[in-house]
A = this chain, B = another copy of it.
Amino acid sequence: MTLHSHRLTDRDSPIADDGDEVRFCSACAFSAASMRAGYDKAALRDLHVLVEHVGPFRAGEHVFRAHDPFRAIFAVRGGTVKTVSVDADGNEQVLGFYIPGEVVGLNAIYPERYPCDAIALENSYFCRFSFPAISALATRMPGLQQQLFKLISKELGMATRLAGDHGAEERMAAFLIDLAERYATQGFPARRLHLAMSRNEIAAHLRLAPETVSRILGRFRETGLIALDVREVELRAPDQLSALARNVLGR
């Protein structure tokens, strides 16, 4: 098999702190909105002062834990995280995977405690925003407020799609398409991706058995929809995949 996906490393990631005192890490979920709105230096400085760079977290380390009091949200600067909720019987449910530029922890606002664990899947870095501080700032920066609303609402859309009734193949296709698109919007190649998560974790996300995930990926490979080398994926027929995912993604 000659599939060489562009494995993300600390070195070649386009997402990183640019070291500039005034501007933000270029991919931060908040920077685009703030820049777009054309805020003055003072407001930008406020937002910048708010940020606390944290990490690295190594694979398997917790960024936050279920039941911890909610204090902050985390923008992924580099790496990948999963959020997981473990029920009384020990069943793990993966709520989501988060890649650079995305924000983790928004589901903790209402309960005022994190309702899940956040665990790094690989070496990962974050911008930590105190939630009281960022929402106070949002009061003076309507664009930031809007951005926060959008982020939570987007997350809500994701959860809703996941809740839908759909066949295993449809969900798997939707997972791949969605992930690829999210990487694409962050500036990564759109047709190749490295899966930072195990089959087990994909399964726990899509409420499938790991065996089913494996079989479906195998089938996708055999029918030429994807090229696959364990965790390296190339979308060979994105249109057919999208067609499969159509009902899940709602378009």
Nearest B-chain residue to A154, judged by Cβ: B110
- A155-B156 contact given A88-B246, A135-B145, CB 8 Å threshold: yes
Report the interface size class on chain A: 35 or more
Query: Is A198 part of the binding interface, using a Cβ–Cβ cutoff of 8 Å?
Result: no
A169 to B146, CA, bound (A): 39
**Are B89's CB and A247's CB within 8 A?**
yes
Of the candidates A89, A115, A152, A250, the one having the most CB atoms from chain B within 10 angstroms of its own CB is A152
**Are A153's CB and B107's CB within 8 A?**
yes
Name the contact of A149 in the complex, choosing from B140, B142, B152, B154 (C-beta under 8 A): B152
Query: Is A162 part of the binding interface, using a Cβ–Cβ cutoff of 8 Å?
Result: yes
Chain B contacts for A163, CB-based, 8 A: 93, 95, 159-160, 162-163, 207
CB A10 to nearest CB in B, in angstroms, measures 31
- A164-B107 contact given A135-B145, A156-B155, CB 8 Å threshold: no
Chain B contacts for A207, CB-based, 8 A: 163-165
Query: Is A189 part of the binding interface, using a Cβ–Cβ cutoff of 8 Å?
Result: no
**Are B142's CB and A135's CB within 8 A?**
yes
**Interface residues in A41-91 (C-beta closer than 8 Å to B):** 85, 87-89, 91
Chain B contacts for A162, CB-based, 8 A: 159, 163
Contact with B along A91-105 (1 / 0, CB 8 A): 101010000000000
Chain B contacts for A33, CB-based, 8 A: none
CB A85 to nearest CB in B, in angstroms, measures 7
Query: Is A111 part of the binding interface, using a Cβ–Cβ cutoff of 8 Å?
Result: yes
**Interface residues in A180-238 (C-beta closer than 8 Å to B):** 207
Chain B contacts for A165, CB-based, 8 A: 91, 93, 207
Query: Is A168 part of the binding interface, using a Cβ–Cβ cutoff of 8 Å?
Result: no
Chain B contacts for A139, CB-based, 8 A: 139-140, 142, 145
**Are B250's CB and A164's CB within 8 A?**
no
A110 to B151, CA, bound (A): 7
Chain B contacts for A160, CB-based, 8 A: 85, 95, 107, 115, 159, 163
CB A59 to nearest CB in B, in angstroms, measures 24
**Are A153's CB and B109's CB within 8 A?**
yes
Query: Is A136 part of the binding interface, using a Cβ–Cβ cutoff of 8 Å?
Result: yes
**Are A156's CB and B154's CB within 8 A?**
no
